[in-house]
Amino acid sequence: MDSITQAALGASLAGAVAGKTLGRSALLIGAALGTLPDLDVVIDYGTAVANFTQHRGFSHSLLVLFPLSFVIALALHRWRPVLSYKRWLAVTALILLTHPLLDAFTTYGTQLFWPFGPPVAITSIFIIDPLYTLPLLAGMLVFLLRGPHTRSVTAGLALSTLYLGWSLTAQQVISDRVDPALAREGLQDAPRMVQPMPFNTILWRVTVMGDDRRVEIVTGFLDGDGPITVESFSRDPELAEVAASLEEGRRLEWFTDGFLQYERSNGRLTATDIRLGIPGAHPFTFILASDNGSGLTPEPSSRLDRPAIAGELLGVLWNRMTGSAEVLCLASLTLPPPGEGCT
């Protein structure tokens, strides 16, 4: 999740566990602990792919954060012995461990068990979702205005947790809804990813990877009874094989679970993480190799600039989410006239 949300979660947990003893300073301490795992972004691992895939690595591992919480709790106890070591440990461990657990609900991927196993990405909540964050902020505001009012931060935590549970339920409902459409496409057993569109859990995007194509579906809870629109995007299996022969290509495949789009243009082989953003606005595209005239030559990966996002995109998403528009064409990020589909 975004830094504001992680800081709010940490502050709320500290306020709930130690607010009566520490007062308003509990929120500040909790917010600092809540942002600690994300400080790994300052580390440069040498290439764009390495930086991308190492983020949320060791600093988000439960196997690292759990023992680290004992050390930090000891330091905090020596600094502020007004709270017992056990209470400091409870505060520190709760905040440090819930940070990566919450991140694991997003699409990016979190290496919960680094250095073992692949990243965990449940994909049930967008990286920024106001309906998750606002209850936490409201509870903190009441705490700040009324003093050590732990009920307010506890209520905020309860509401945000319920919303997270709703996201899982909604994800399953959407997955079941698209099953018949995918069966007609012969892709009912293909790898799929079901995730919410930006900033909400009402409108969802389903991405399914076939051998030579992928399909995209946008559907939501405020849709009418119309048919589900399925868009197809071509894939090049040969480019995937070329990328698989490259060390950084294999690293990307591992990190994204294969949800990549490869292209060869302007003498370069690029790989785009199609999980993040939406088609036409994917933020992570990497150059893996270049053509020197005698074939592709691997090179240290670099990242292309993020595509510009048109200002009207938020309005398009809003109209589709509320059901004002029945279809959103991802290939063009436009809303076709009523009764028409995507070309």
Residue 265 domain boundaries: 236-303
What is the identity of the amino acid at 334? Answer: T
Residue 191 lies in a domain: no
> Which of 90, 122, 154 finishes a domain?
122
- By CB atoms closer than 10 A (0-12, 13-18, 19+), residue 337 is exposed
pLDDT value of residue 333: 85
Residue 221 lies in a domain: no
DSSP 31-55: HHHHHGGGGGGG---SSHHHHHHHT
Query: What are the φ/ψ torsions at residue 259 (nearest 5 degrees)?
Result: -85, 75
d(CA 102, CA 106): 7
How confident is the model over 1-28, as pLDDT tens digits?
A: 999 999 999 999 999 999 999 999 999 9
The greatest distance separating any two alpha carbons of the chain, rounded to the nearest whole angstrom, comes to: 71
Percent above pLDDT 90 for the chain: 79
Q: Is residue 289 part of a domain?
A: yes
Mean pLDDT over 70-75 rounds to 98
Is residue 274's pLDDT more than 80? yes
ω into 196 cis (within 30 of 0)? no
Which of these three, 85, 102, 122, is where a domain ends?
122
Closest Cα to residue 72, out of 51, 53, 108, 99? 99
CA angle 108, 112, 113 (to 5 degrees): 135
Question: What pTM was estimated for this model as a whole?
Answer: 0.93
Is 263 within a domain? Answer: yes
* The residue type at 178: V
Q: Is 172 inside a domain boundary?
A: no
| Assigned domain for 274 exists | yes
* Residue 308 confidence (pLDDT) above 80: no
The long-range contacts involving 236-245, CB below 8 angstroms and separated by at least 24 positions, are 236/212, 236/262, 236/263, 236/264, 237/211, 237/212, 239/263, 239/264, 239/269, 242/269, 242/289, 242/296, 243/269, 243/271, 243/288
Bigger pLDDT: 330 vs 202: 202
Can you tell me the distance from the alpha carbon of 7 to that of 124, in angstroms, rounded to the nearest whole number?
20
31 falls within a domain: yes
Q: What pLDDT, on the 0 to 100 scale, is given for residue 32?
A: 97
Measure the CA angle with vertex 209, ends 205 and 212; round to 5°.
135
Kindly report, residue by residue over 219-273, the tens digit of the pLDDT. Answer: 999 997 878 999 999 999 999 999 999 999 999 999 999 999 999 988 899 999 9
Cross-strand bridge partners of residue 196:
204
Give the pLDDT confidence of 95-119 residue by residue, as tens digits. 999 999 999 999 999 999 999 999 9
**In a domain? residue 253:** yes
Across the beta sheet with 192-196, the strand order is: 192-196, 203-209, 213-220, 230-234
Name the pLDDT band for 310 (thresholds 50, 70, 90). low
The number of domains in the chain is 2
End-to-end Cα distance, the chain? 35
Could you give the CA distance from residue 217 to residue 207 in angstroms, rounded to a whole number? 7
pLDDT for residue 271:
96
Of 75, 106, 122, which one is at a domain's C-terminal end?
122
